[in-house]
Amino acid sequence: MKNVYDVIVIGAGPAGMASALTAREKGSSVLIIEREDRPGGILNQCIHDGFGLVKFNEKLTGPEYADRYVRWIDEAGIEILTSTFLLELIKDEDEFRMKLVSAEKGVFSLRGKAVVVSTGCRERSDRQIFIHGDRPAGIFTAGQAQAFINRMGYMPGRRAVILGSGDIGLIMARRLTLEGAEVEGVYEIQSRPSGLQRNISQCLNDFSIPLHLGRTVSRVIGKGRIEAVEVVSVDERMNPVKGTEAIVPCDCLILSVGLIPEIDILKDLPVVKDGKTGGIVTDDRMESPQVPGLFSCGNAHHVYDLVDYVSESGEIAGSAASEFAREAAI
């Protein structure tokens, strides 16, 4: 391993892997940093299919989609540092400097001419959508529930209420049903579902799981473990309508209420945050106008509905990062 690269990619999910491949194809030296113990990002826990329809004209599962890229990365001889955590990222004159840590290497430093931020997103929590009532165990984000079931083999509950009709929520409704749990219903505060139509049809309708539009969870009930939620209808200004409350018994509440680009690592750089997407402002080459050489792609840029487009954004960022590094070298 060197300690200077043309392009350093942060995050080995679908965006990061695509950008690394493209940058490598264009002749740059590339390193990928990944905090998990294997590449693939969140795709590793998405064992349902439907990935790759646009890109490969095939129906792949998440791990299958990721595996293609992992193989190409391997064939291209691109280095990946897994189980490695980025502690600090600064720009010093013409290069980026990072401090990283891993159990294997301890704390170490790297320098890169260009950096691609493909750190994905995080899920909005119960607190960020201002759910009130008690604070018992048994409230999960959909991705967390997915990790428990798909990666670890544990059930988050046996009788679920799902709040939010985002795609992961819909997919978890089906997954829980397949695992023998009861799904009491999916509640969506908006008047229309936010997930893909194909997921409404394949994950809810096919399993007779009710979708309640214009209704939300107003209160959580249960001291130790969740026992029930109170649901309520909302008016057009999203305020609860008195008299429409109902108590729905459950032993878990699963939230699919939005994703937020995870870009906290950029806090020491003068990037500009896009108030609408939660990512950073970039030009159409995915580069930050305030921090030349810094590129952002995938869900760290803004939240995409299909992974195929995530990969595409990675290719754009990877290509531009490679060009930037080459110009910087001259």
Partner 1 sequence: MNKLKKVTKELAKLGLGGDVQASEFRKSVRLTGHVGSWDEKVAAGFAAANRGYKGVLNDITVEGVGEEKIYRYDPGDRDLEGRYFDVLIIGGGIIGCATARELARYDISIAILEKEEDLAMQTSSRNDGMIHPGFAAHPGSKKAHYNILGNRMYTKWAEELGFELKRPGSLVLFPSRLEKYLVPLMKMRARKNGVDGHYRYISRKKVFEMEPNVTEDQQGAFFLPSAGIISPYKATIAMAENALQNGADVFLNCFVESFEMDGGRIASVRIGRGTVKCGAVINCAGNFADIIAELADDRFFSLHGRKGTECILDRNTGLTQHSILSMPRLIQRKSKTKGGGVVPCIEGNILLGPTAEEQPWREDFSTDRGHFQELLQKLDLNTKLSGSSVITYFSGIRPASWEEDFIIEPSERVANLVHGAAIQSPGVASAPAIAVDLAKMTVDILSKDKTVEEKTGFNPRRTVSYHQIETVEERREMVGKNPLYGNIICRCETISEQEIRDVLRGPIPVNSLDGVKRRIRAGAGRCHGGFCTPKIMEIISDELGIPMVEITRKGDSSPVLSGEAK
Residue numbers of the site for partner 1 (CB under 8 A)?
35, 83, 85, 87-88, 99, 101-107, 122-123, 125-128, 130, 132-138, 141, 143-144, 147-149, 151-158, 179-180, 218-219, 223-225, 240, 251-252, 262, 264, 267
Nearest distance from C-beta of residue 295 to partner 1, angstroms = 21
* Amino acid code (one letter) for 162: I
- Compute the least distance from the CB of residue 168 to partner 1, in Å: 12
CA 266 to CA 41: how far, in whole Å? 19
CB of 54 to partner 1, least distance (A): 28
Structure token pair of residue 22: 């493209």
Write the Ramachandran bin of 36: left for phi over 0, alpha for psi from -120 to 50, otherwise beta.
beta
CA separation for the pair 30, 167 (Å, rounded): 33
Integer Cα distance of 325 and 307 in angstroms: 27
Considering the complex, state which of residue 71 and residue 135 has its C-beta at the smaller distance from partner 1.
135
Complex with partner 1: residue 138 or 166, whichever CB lies closer: 138
CA Rg value for the chain: 21
Closest CA to 129 of 64, 194, 61, 32: 194
Q: Cβ 199 to partner 1, closest distance in Å? A: 21
**How many whole angstroms from its chain centre is CA 202?**
22
Residue 94 has, within 13 A of its CA and on its CB side, a CA count of 10
Nearest of 290, 259, 294, 8 to residue 120 by alpha carbon: 259
Q: Hunting for tokens 């930037």 — which residue is that?
A: 324
Q: What are the phi and psi torsion angles at 232 (to 5°)? A: -150, 150
Nearer to partner 1, 38 or 198 (CB): 38
Greatest Cα pair distance, the chain, in angstroms, is 70
CB of 75 to partner 1, least distance (A): 29
Q: How far is the CB of 149 from partner 1 (least distance, A)?
A: 5
Q: How far is the CB of 27 from partner 1 (least distance, A)?
A: 33
Please identify, using beta-carbon distances, which residue of 77 and 224 lies nearer to partner 1.
Answer: 224
Dist CA 16 CA 76 (whole Å) = 14
CB count within 10 Å of CB 9 equals 34
Q: Which is nearer to partner 1, 59 or 223 (CB)?
A: 223
Nearer to partner 1, 255 or 316 (CB): 255
Q: Which is nearer to partner 1, 125 or 277 (CB)?
A: 125
Min dist CB 138 to partner 1, Å, is 8
If the CB atoms of residues 52 and 156 are measured against partner 1, the closer one turns out to be 156
Tokens of 261: 């680009």
Shortest Å, Cβ 42 to partner 1: 10
Backbone dihedral angles phi then psi of residue 51, each to the nearest 5 degrees? -90, 140
Residue closer to partner 1 (CB basis): 104 or 283: 104
| H/E segment holding residue 239 | none
**β-sheet bridge partners, residue 123:** 259
